[in-house]
Structure 1
C-alpha cells in the first residue's frame, strides 16, 4: 500500500473493468471508456497476479477444504432458509453449479453482478479500493462508501437473503 501511495497510484479492482472495456473497444461508442488504458497496465498486472495467486494458493498451498467454523445460531438461521451447514467455504445452495445453472440462480448472479457493477461505479470505486486505498488516504467519501457497504451487507443478510431463500 505504501508503494502505491508513494507512486501516486490507487488500489482497486473495479477500475480494471473500465480498462478491459476500453481494450475491447468501448471507447469508440462511450466517452467514459475513451482513455489511455496503457496507463493502467500496472493494475491489470495486479489483477492477473491476484488470479494466478488465488489459483496457486487454492490448488498447491492449501490443506483439504474444511467446513467453516460458524456458530450454532448461524447454522440454525441458515436452516430456517433451507441452507445446510456448509461443508466447505461457501454454502452449496449458493455456489454449487447445479444451483447456479437454474433460472433463479442465474438471475441472482446476473442481477447481483449488475448491482455490484453499478454500485462500484456510482460509489467511485469498489470495496477494496475505498476500504484500503481511500481510507488510508483519509478520504471522507471512502469512509461514507465503506459505511454504506456495511449497511448494504447487513440489509442483504437480514432482509433480502431470507426473502430470496
Structure 2
C-alpha cells in the first residue's frame, strides 16, 4: 500500500502527459489553464466591457472540464494519494532559506511563511499578492498563454513562440529566486 502513496515516478506520469497531449493534438485542441479564465469571464458577460472577451466561448466549454478535473484530481491526490514524507532539499538550499527567515524548510510541502492564512493579514503580503497577480496576469496575456499551455502544449507541438516564452519563464524564475526573493525576505 505504501508504494501507491508515493509520488508517481517520471516513467508513469511522463508518458501519461504525452498521451494526453497526443490526444489533444489529434482532436485539434490545445491545453492551457489561462484560457479558461477568459472563457469564464465571457460566460459572465465581460464581452459587454472589452472586445477581448467577445468570442464564441461555447467552443471552449470543453476546456472548463480541465479546470474541474484539476480540482477533483487535486482533492483525490491530497485526500487519498498523499503521504507524510518530507521534501528532500539540498543542505545549501536549507541554509539559504533559513538565512532568509524560513524556520523549517523542507518540513512541509510548501513553506508556512508564504502559504498560510496568517500571511493574508500582513500588508506586505497583500501588496506582494496583488502586484504578483497583476504581473502574472500581464505576462500570461502578453505571452499569449500560461506556463502550462506553452511548456506542455506549445513545446510538444514544436511552436517557436512557446520556446521563447518558456525560456522567458525560466529566466524570470531565476531572477525571482536569486535576486528578488532574498530582498523580500
Say whether the fold is shared (TM-score over 0.5): yes
Match of 1:7 among 17, 23, 27: 27
Tell me the distance in 1 between the aligned counterparts of 2:181 and 2:38.
29
Give aligned pairs, total: 164
1:147 aligns with 2:167: yes
For residues 32-61 of structure 1, the C-alpha deviation after alignment (integer angstroms, 9 at most, x for no partner) is 101111111110011111111101110122
Match of 2:92 in 1: 73
Unaligned runs of 5+ in 1: none
Residues 13-22 or 101-110, more deviating: 101-110
**Offset, 1:101:** 2.6
Q: After TM superposition, list the pairs within 5 Å mapping 1:16-31 onto structure 2.
A: 16-31=36-51
Residues 34-43 or 100-109, more deviating: 100-109
Match of 1:100 among 111, 115, 120: 120
Unaligned runs of 5+ in 2: 1-20
Match of 1:124 in 2: 144
Normalising by structure 2, we get a TM-score of: 0.86
Tell me the distance in 2 between the aligned counterparts of 1:86 and 1:103.
26
Tell me the distance in 2 between the aligned counterparts of 1:101 and 1:5.
44
Provide runs of 4+ in structure 1 moved above 6 Å.
Answer: none
**Offset, 1:111:** 1.3
1:36 aligns with 2:59: no
CA RMSD of aligned residues (A): 1.0
Match of 2:179 among 143, 159, 163: 159
Match of 1:47 in 2: 67
